[in-house]
Amino acid sequence: MSVFTTVTQQELSTWLQNYSIGTLVELKGISSGITNTNYFVTTQSNDGTRSKYVLTLFEQNNIEDLPYFIDLMSHLSTHGIPCPKPVADGQGVCLGVLNGKPATLVSCLQGQDVQQPNLAQCAEVGRVLAKMHLAGQTFEAQFPQHFQLGNAIHNQRDADWRQATAQKVMPKLKVEEQQLLHAELDYQRDLAIAALPHGVVHGDLFRDNVLFDGDKLGGFIDFYYACHDSLAYDVAIAVNDWCILANGQFDEEKLAAFLAAYQTVRPFNEAECLSWHALLRRAALRFWLSRLYDFHFPAEGELTHAKDPNHFKQLLQLRIALQASAAKVKEV
């Protein structure tokens, strides 16, 4: 993530005194991403062993919002899903405050992100995502405090967010972009997905949020958009990034490999199959809106990285055309 809040080595050394992870050796800001502040943290124990962690400072969340994400990562890691494991301090607490921001320390996974995934890697992401969705089904029972009074952690990028964000960015858009956005908001407003299977979703499983060592999956990272939503929608978000060509069209081989591997573990039901094209459109719309907002209303920071919103506008147009094409084929 971008570095919005600067942390010095002295400040972090003082903060880490309550942790039993050794002495701070190196602190390095991570420049990719757009929402939170992240640093690589390297420590050394008394015997010379070095360990690597990721420090996250939350720029938009209140500290009371965060136990869901911490508990979710702990739950998934103990259920065989490769993901960061939160590190507890001497009092057994995984959340603190650093330089006025909520902060947490998690294990740093092996591997690196891949920008040109092969078929095996696409299939492995699909398989592990399905396993994650199944593992999430026991999360509510293990952590009922997050679901009291029916208040499950729903998608922060929901219909209300789409409308509010659209209102903010609309004056910045060209007329044809405004027309596209209005039309898609109307389409999505009438789309009912409440009956689809819901559960824990990652919500942001792009290529830069998955680590590989060769074809071995090191893990999923950046769970801070995780929530309860449609499971198939989570798949749509992923394939819109993992299985595309440079022009945004689907790479059909990669898409087939991803979906086949996913459905070997958790098959789609009929309603999910019927909603698939609409979910692809919703996924493209969600990220077009967030990229538009970040582009036109950039946050200040030491290292910032705003991504091009036009990519997701094009992706949305392509998914609309794909749905229309599929409907014509079905009619024939």
Q: Do 15 and 96 meet the contact criterion of CB atoms below 8 Å apart? A: yes
Of the candidate ranges 26-35, 47-56, 63-72, 194-203, the one whose mean pLDDT is the lowest: 26-35
Can you say whether residue 48 is alpha, beta or left, with left for phi > 0 and alpha for psi between -120 and 50 degrees? left
E-state strands within 58-166: 96-98, 101-107
Residue among 76, 101, 98 nearest 86 (CA) = 76
Digit-coded pLDDT (tens) for 293-329: 999 998 776 545 667 899 999 999 999 999 999 988 8
Digit-coded pLDDT (tens) for 214-268: 999 999 999 999 999 999 999 999 999 999 999 999 999 999 999 999 999 999 9
Rounded Cα–Cα distance for residues 256 and 271 (Å) = 19
* All domains in the chain, ordered by first residue: 9-107 (3.30.200.20), 119-331 (3.90.1200.10)
Q: What is the pLDDT of residue 148?
A: 65
Digit-coded pLDDT (tens) for 23-34: 999 999 987 656
Residues in contact with 261: Cβ distance below 8 Å, sequence separation at least 6, in sequence order: 122, 123, 124, 126, 127, 130
Digit-coded pLDDT (tens) for 162-177: 999 999 999 999 999 9
pLDDT band of residue 156 (cuts 50, 70, 90) is confident
Q: What is the pLDDT of residue 328?
A: 84
